[in-house]
Amino acid sequence: MRLLFFTFLIVFSINLFSFSLSGQNLDTNKLDEYIKRSKDQWNIPGLAIAIVKDGEIIFSKGYGVREFGKPDKVDDESLFAIASNTKAFTASALSILVDEKKIDWDDPVQKYLPYFKLYDPYVSANMTIRDLLCHRSGLKTFSGDLLWYGSNYSRKEVISRAQFLKPVYGFRSHYGYSNIMFLTAGEIIPAITGQSWDEFLAERFFKPLEMVNTNTSIKDFKKNGNIAMPHHVGFDENPLVIPYVNWDNIGPAGAINSNVKEMTNWLIMNLNNGVYKEKQILSEENIRQMRTVQTPQFISKWSETTFPTKHYSGYGLGWELFDYHGRKIVNHGGGADGMISKVVLVPEEKFGFVILTNSINYLPSALSYYILDSYFGKEENDWSSLYFGFYKDGAKREKTAKEKKEKARLKNTSPSLPLNAYVGNYVSKLYGEAKVELKNDKLMLFFIPTPIFVGELTHYQINTFGIRLKNQPGLPEGNVNFTIGQTGKVEKMLVDIPNPDFDFTELDFIKVNE
């Protein structure tokens, strides 16, 4: 009897352990209610989520509306911009070419793109395909993004202009997230295959994975289709519908549009060692390459305290990597105009999920930890409220900083020169041309390569003017400072519109004096 009792204990313990790791702790009804509450807390117009386990969809649902003020509901087939979750597709596309022996991860970029140059001849000659895909170019995060965002530059022109970007780190010494390097990686595909990056993805991924509505350009949206619109949601403000911005010229870094139903096929293939419906899409060997840390990332004291089971963090090839509750987490986030997405894979468990939203918010990250805690049978923290608290604190700090800046402003000053002295063409070697014009006694600034960037200049102090770009609610007010030279004429213009995505101060404008 004692032997039978101990045998029962051993078997029961094994089954209990298996029960915990199988994902049965994930109560989808409870999750459903949590998502509803959290969505309202964040004032998100629409959200869609899908969860897969062992090759099956165990939860798939849409919440809210596709467009604020209209009745059309979000469902699991509503298209959203997945933004930087495109990067894993680009890395995977290149892995196919590696498998076909057409390229090697460590081939120099200039072997395929001779026009590729960066800030230093050595770096230009030695930058490899692997380097492009793991954010270790020496450039700071988001450096050069104003080259492509809303601009009329082609993919090749964006890459060519990157040579004028200034590094802040040593080559391969530090993590610096770079959309332009991923664009460069994607352009290797047509150099090898004769197919555009867009055509290659459609043939090698979208078709075999049955992603029939997924596309790489807003130009491919079907009229009156099931499309979620992007929104700007200011703190304590109603959502404001904003237009899609065409991302064709940065495609390989972030131009895919998809829905959670079709993204589950991508998840299932990745969780099944590259196999989808008995067809090998990606090789297991290169999946391992992409999921191996190439560039380590620093874990802060805050992160260590907030996530005590996280011991490492790094970037692979198109994927972000860290450990959580003893499991390797393969994931990526995506942020586009008025949209945030999240993809999370737990390969050891064949478990994963995708979250798509149509506003800028931190809920997908918060939900990720809530779902992982639930799945692993751990204490369920209210991650949404925790992240929302960070958001509120940030809004308060921003308001305080604005008030402090206004208090320090030198009032009752006048420009050093008549307004027409500031008028003219300004050229940045990196970016191109900007123009200041005087219209109805008001100065107007036009960013010529980026037609959507237009703003009125209002005097702030001395030779500094305030600016708010028209129809750009996601960008705050900024300043434009003019430098007067020894000749008494305007020589330079520095634009500073502080925001987390675009560094306007990189655009070193010199006035062209006729």
In the predicted model, what is the mean pLDDT of residues 170-190? 98
pLDDT for 352-373, tens place per residue?
999 999 999 999 999 999 999 9
pLDDT for 277-326, tens place per residue?
999 999 999 999 999 999 999 999 999 999 999 999 999 999 999 999 99
pLDDT at site 11: 38
pLDDT for 144-156, tens place per residue?
999 999 999 999 9
Maximum pairwise Cα distance, the chain? 102
CATH architecture, range 419-512: Beta Barrel (2.40)
Which tokens belong to 325?
């509750």
pLDDT for 369-389, tens place per residue?
999 999 999 988 999 999 999
pLDDT at site 380: 82
Asked whether residue 222 carries a pLDDT value surpassing 90, the answer given is no
How far, in Å, CA of 132 to CA of 179, rounded?
9
- Give me the residue spans of the domains in the chain: 23-396, 419-512
Tell me how long the chain is: 514
Asked whether residue 206 carries a pLDDT value surpassing 90, the answer given is yes
pLDDT at site 76: 97
pLDDT at site 52: 98
CATH architecture, range 23-396: 3-Layer(aba) Sandwich (3.40)
H helices of 133-259, in order, are: 155-161, 179-193, 197-201, 251-254
SS3 323: strand
pLDDT at site 24: 56
Q: For residue 152, which phi and psi values (nearest 5 degrees)? A: -95, 15
How far, in Å, CA of 98 to CA of 195, rounded?
16
How far, in Å, CA of 380 to CA of 366, rounded?
11
Share of the chain above pLDDT 70, in %: 95
SS3 400: helix
pLDDT at site 22: 44
How far, in Å, CA of 333 to CA of 340, rounded?
7
Q: For residue 4, which phi and psi values (nearest 5 degrees)? A: -65, -40
How far, in Å, CA of 208 to CA of 510, rounded?
51
Q: In sequence order, which residues have a C-beta less than 8 Å from that of residue 207 and are 6 or more positions away?
A: none
pLDDT for 449-459, tens place per residue?
999 999 999 99
Q: Could you tell me the pLDDT band of residue 514, with boundaries at 50, 70 and 90?
A: low
DSSP 10-53: HHHHHHHHHHHHTTTT--HHHHHHHHHHHHHHHT-SEEEEEEEE
β-strands 56-64, 46-53: how paired? antiparallel
Angle between helices 28-42 and 363-375 (to 10 degrees): 160
pLDDT for 5-29, tens place per residue?
333 333 333 333 333 334 457 999 9
